[in-house]
Structure 1
Amino acid sequence: MKLMKAVVVFLVVALLAVPASAEFDFPEFDLGGKTVNIWCWYDIELDERIAEVEEMFNVKIATPQVEWERQSESYMSRLLAGDSEYDIWYASHEFAIPIMKDGAFYPMNTILPEEYFENADPHLKAMIDNLILDGNIYAFNSMHSAMNDMSFFVWNKSLFEREGLPDLEEAYYNDEWTWELATEIAIKATRDTDGDGIVDQYGFSEVYPWSFVLSHGATVVKQDDSGKWVFSLDDDDALEALQQLYEWSHVNQVVEGDWFQTPFREGKRAFANMPAWMLWSLADEIDDEYGVLPYPKGPSNDYYVAPTEVLNMFYIPANSANPLAMAAIVDHLMPEADDYFYDVIEGQILGQAPDRASAEIMEDAILNWDGQFDIVRGFAGATILEEALWSILSGEKTPAQGMSEVKQQIQAAVDDLLN
């Protein structure tokens, strides 16, 4: 299916083309020909800007790559060995959070003025604010928006037309895209299509459970009035979301598939649950027409939510020889303030939105995002939590039972990570 380079995209990015951070005049730096390593898990492809920075700072920029799953280990090893004095680290929050309390990162609020953060673009500020730990700001800039790993519902328009199912763009704009409607559609779509007595078409492939919980206004953990991080999957809105997942999987039996959403790509699912990065290649992997939606609204939702799975941010090592200079390098490598979201988001929407309506909906999602993400993603209690989840989805335990049984264990892991 061809991607439509819709005119709406230019309207989208015009709205988003606002300063990424407050105007701040960094002093001039001469780093005497030092080599600064900007670590990331992929090629950051900023050659032209790197050349400018090298001349401006009298510095050599290297861009070594770290293995995705070894970010925590690799960065901490460099710090302990004293090799990170001229490092800049790009890290996913699931690998950054575990080493924050170990003193891995420089507190940027001690060298950058409060106005730098307070006057930041609201979207970037939300990313920064949600990664503050113990009152310190460690994550201070990003090459990505929260949309990079934002989770969406993708619907198979061709299947909907074949099955006589309702237009979900109309439902979205009429504020009718709800759990109830998603359930009705999934039940109708789940059937034996070739008469062999075996169901081969379903409503959903795998529904990402924690993203679904986040989309309902719930969280795995939250801060109480004292600032302590506490387990919160036993809150009512979380239990409602877990109950809905159980009903889809076990009662309605409309879920069958895998994390990669393979059956959706084969045209055999009404819905797929996908992080935005999967949308880059989806048009080449599916023959059917499709559209992009946020998560359906549940009983605790006042508005649509598309949560993000990962926040990728820049950090400066705690032993930096010149943390302000490293921050200045990052600032100069990023787009000009007025072009920041134009550069960061325009290409993503152009490359991911299959049509005009999807582009508008993705615009709504990024404008409405205000911090829905899982701060403890991949933490020490994740395995225990997954086991509890599957006991709920299988009907072995109710959501309340499953969460109450692991609450103390998860809280202990949360204490080690955040408190």
Structure 2
Amino acid sequence: MTKKWKFLYLASTALLLAACGNGNTDTEETTEDANAETEEVAEETPADEEGTEEEGSEDPFAHYPAIDMGGRTIKVATWWDFFYDSRHTDPMDNPEVGNVENAQMEIDNVRRIEEKYNVRIEYENLGWEGMIDSINTSVVSGTPDYDIYTVDLQFGLSPAMNGYAIPIEELAPDYADIKNDQTVMTPLDTFGEEYLFAETAIPQSATYMLYNATMLEELGLEDPWTLMENGEWTWDKFAELAQAATRDTDGDGNIDVYGFGGVTTDTTMEFVASNGGAIANTLDEGLSDPATVEALEFIYNMYHVDNFARPYSDDWDGQYNAWVDGSVAFAPVHAWSLVSNGPDLSYDYRIVRWPQGPNGDGTTAGEAIGNHYFIPTGVEDAQAVYQIFEEFRNWFAYDIDLRDNYDWFETAFTSVEDMDLALEIGSSGNGDLWKYSDVNGGAGDALYNIFMGEMTVSQAVESYRQVLQDGLDSFRAE
């Protein structure tokens, strides 16, 4: 955990120390010409066509004016293999293709985009480290290697907030989906600014509280789902059940089953949110906020006073997967981990909302943020690039039944009720960005010391609140 936050600090520092100006007059003039051309087209677009298909039109993309890109290749950097782009001609080009029919629609849309705009689109997998290197070198110099970057916020938020990304307000024309219905693209609000955007999709990145239903039933304990439905699922009730589940099952004098086990990030995000707190949902630190402190005290007691939480260690994978072998009663989980491990579990499981804290309202969850895109400053014809990319990702032609494929997501859950709850949780994030904005390690180091028992909550908060604030201050506009 410590190494992780130190790495983020070094990456962010490199960005902050880099030169801000791009010094590329030719690129700036070209971009201004392209923006003027796109704005002129937008002024000519009838008001009733903005953001939607004109009634009765056979072309759902008629409101996007054609732009001749002269055979240019729009390059998109990512850190995993992407399908499909201009290099692909067959659904089977993706060795893990799922829905072949939808894959063919994506390929057909690629061909349509190529013809309409005289352009090619290619993704390049740079890997995690390669992505950071490209941002820290080419983007901060004003001569980006790629037209679009696909980023995790751990390395995407800092350049966006420090002037290396074009604001969406300047980037997207008025008729763009992102400024209207947001069926295709959704902007990300980062402390009141919008530089990053992502494809509108099923909210499937949330953190859920899993409980071992078999274990609780065998112990004769109350069912958390029933408690939740009755408005009785609180921190106190959770602690009562977790304490009862913590025991020595083999008689060797050592506890081998714990009431709770999970990693610092997920655990903190959700208990803070369940108490109505946030560590960094504004540019003013919330580590010292009373609701946050109360949540941290509850976590500290779980690990060091009541001792029903699995003792924390630097074994991140071990902590993250503590629930898989059935040695904890409650754990933070994600849909992808349930899909991977759920079928092989030796017990029945369910998910439930995180228990309500004394200061919470029972409806708020930690923020669930996946990958986002940004277009860096210095990209030629940036408005045209954005328009083409938005239309390129709209392979489903506004038919959200095609876009929203629940087949994968639903395999994570054991009932329709659980899946519906998961979708609800995924849509109720509190906007807390501490995992991504803590550029100097403030919150990360504070939590590490709390979980490891090396500091009390008051000591950790007092030691690191200003460190966190200094990191947030680096995002403030000059």
Both proteins in one fold, TM over 0.5: yes
Identity of aligned residues (%): 25
Matching of residues 296-335 of structure 1 within 5 Å: 296-335=355-394
> What's the counterpart of residue 65 of structure 2?
27
For normalisation by structure 2, the TM-score amounts to 0.72
Q: Flag structure 1 segments of 5+ consecutive residues without an equivalent.
A: 1-20, 224-228
Alignment correspondent of 2:197? 140
Alignment of 1:164-203 (within 5 A): 164-203=220-259
Instruction: Identify if the C-alpha distance between structure 1 residues 172 and 123 changes in structure 2 by more than 3 Å, giving closer, same or farther.
Output: farther
Deviation for aligned residue 1:138: 1.4
Instruction: Return the offset for 1:376.
Output: 5.0
Instruction: Provide the secondary structure at the position in 1 that maps to 2:331.
Output: strand
Contact 2:171 2:386 in 1 (8 A): no
Report whether the alignment pairs 1:88 with 2:148. Answer: yes
Question: Is the CA contact 1:146–1:311 (under 8 Å) kept in the aligned structure 2?
Answer: no
Tell me, in whole angstroms, the C-alpha distance in 2 between the residues paired with 1:359 and 1:167: 18
Q: What's the TM-score once normalised by structure 1's chain length?
A: 0.82
2:81 maps to 43
The residue that corresponds to 1:241 in the other structure is 295
Tell me if the contact between 2:185 and 2:200 (Cα under 8 Å) persists in the aligned partners. no
3-state SS of 1:349 partner: helix
Give the AA of the match of 1:161: E
Mapped contact 2:150–2:374 kept (Cα < 8 A): yes
| Contact 1:76-1:104 at 8 Å conserved across structures | no
- Residue 419 of structure 2: aligned partner: 359
1:113: how far off?
Answer: 4.9
Matching of residues 185-334 of structure 1 within 5 Å: 185-207=241-263, 208-212=266-270, 213-223=272-282, 229-256=283-310, 259-260=316-317, 261-334=320-393
> 1:180 Cα deviation (Å)?
1.3
Provide closer, same or farther for how the CA distance between residues 152 and 43 of structure 1 changes in structure 2, counting only shifts above 3 A: same
Q: Which piece of structure 1 moves more, 43-52 or 30-39?
A: 43-52
Please report how far the alpha carbon of residue 41 of structure 1 lies from its aligned counterpart in structure 2 after TM superposition: 1.4
Gaps of 5+ in 2: 1-49, 54-62, 86-106
**DSSP 3-state at the match of 2:460:** helix
1:59 aligned residue: 119
TM-fit CA distance, 1:254: 0.9
In structure 2, do the counterparts of structure 1 residues 376 and 203 end up closer, same or farther at CA, with 3 Å as the change threshold?
closer
Q: Distance in 2 between matches of 1:370 and 1:337?
A: 28
Closer, same or farther in 2 for the Cα pair 1:162/1:69, shift >3 Å?
A: farther
The one-letter code matched in structure 1 to 2:134 is: S
**CA deviation map 1:207-240 (0-9, x unaligned):** 53431323432222243xxxxx111111111011
Paired position in structure 2 for 1:408: 466
Per the alignment, in what secondary structure is the counterpart of residue 231 of structure 1? coil
How many Å separate the matches in 1 of 2:195 and 2:293? 33
Deviates more, 1:408-417 or 1:82-91: 82-91
Deviates more, 1:286-295 or 1:139-148: 139-148
Q: Partners in 1 of 2:209 and 2:284 — Cα distance?
A: 29
Deviation at 1:322, TM superposition (A): 1.6
> Retained in 2: the 8 A contact 1:187–1:252?
yes
Q: Which moved more, 1:30-39 or 1:271-280?
A: 271-280
1:157 to 213, 216, 224: 213
What SS is found at the alignment partner of 2:399? helix
Q: Spell out, residue by residue over 1:84-121, the C-alpha distance to the aligned partner (whole angstroms, 9 max, x if none).
A: 47622211222111112443211220243568556445
Larger relative contact order (CA 8 Å, sep ≥ 6): 1
Moved more, 41-50 or 176-185: 41-50
Which of 72-81 and 211-220 deviates more?
72-81
Q: CA, structure 1 residues 68+284, in 2 after alignment: closer, same or farther (shift >3 Å)?
A: farther
Amino acid at match of 2:66: E
Name the residue aligned to 2:139: 79
Structure 1 residue 311: Cα displacement: 3.6
Deviation by residue 1:40-94 (Cα, 9 ceiling, x = unmatched):
1112323514333223322122110122244343234333566647622211222
1:266-311 deviations in whole A, cap 9, x for unaligned? 1111111123332231224422211122321111111233323534
Deviation at 1:123, TM superposition (A): 12
1:324 offset after TM fit, Å?
A: 2.0
Describe the shift of the 1:108–1:418 C-alpha distance in structure 2 as closer, same or farther (beyond 3 A): same
Distance 1:230 1:345 in 2: 39
Counterpart of 2:52 in structure 1: which amino acid? E
The 3-state SS of whatever aligns with 2:322 is helix
Cα shift readout 1:360-380 (whole Å, capped 9, x = no counterpart): 21122134x244332552633
User: Over residues 238-281 of structure 1, what are the superposed CA-to-partner deviations in whole Å (9 max), with x where a residue is unaligned?
Assistant: 01110110111111101116644333111111111123332231
**One-letter amino acid matched to 2:269:** S
**Which moved further from structure 2: 191-200 or 307-316?**
307-316
Contact 1:156 1:288 in 2 (8 A): yes
Q: Is the 8 A contact 1:46 1:333 kept in 2?
A: no
Q: Which residue, out of 410, 420, 423, partners 1:350? A: 410
The answer as to whether partners of 2:75 and 2:148 remain within 8 angstroms in 1 is: yes
Aligned-residue CA RMSD in angstroms? 3.0
Contact 1:139 1:315 in 2 (8 A): yes
Q: Secondary structure of 1:138's partner?
A: strand
Q: Answer whether contact 1:144 1:344 (CA < 8 A) is retained.
A: yes
Structure showing greater radius of gyration is 2
* Cα separation, 1, equivalents of 2:379 and 2:402: 31
CA distance in 2, matches of 1:342, 1:216: 37
CA contact 2:183–2:398 (8 Å) conserved in 1: no
Tell me whether 289-298 or 81-90 shows the greater mean CA deviation: 81-90
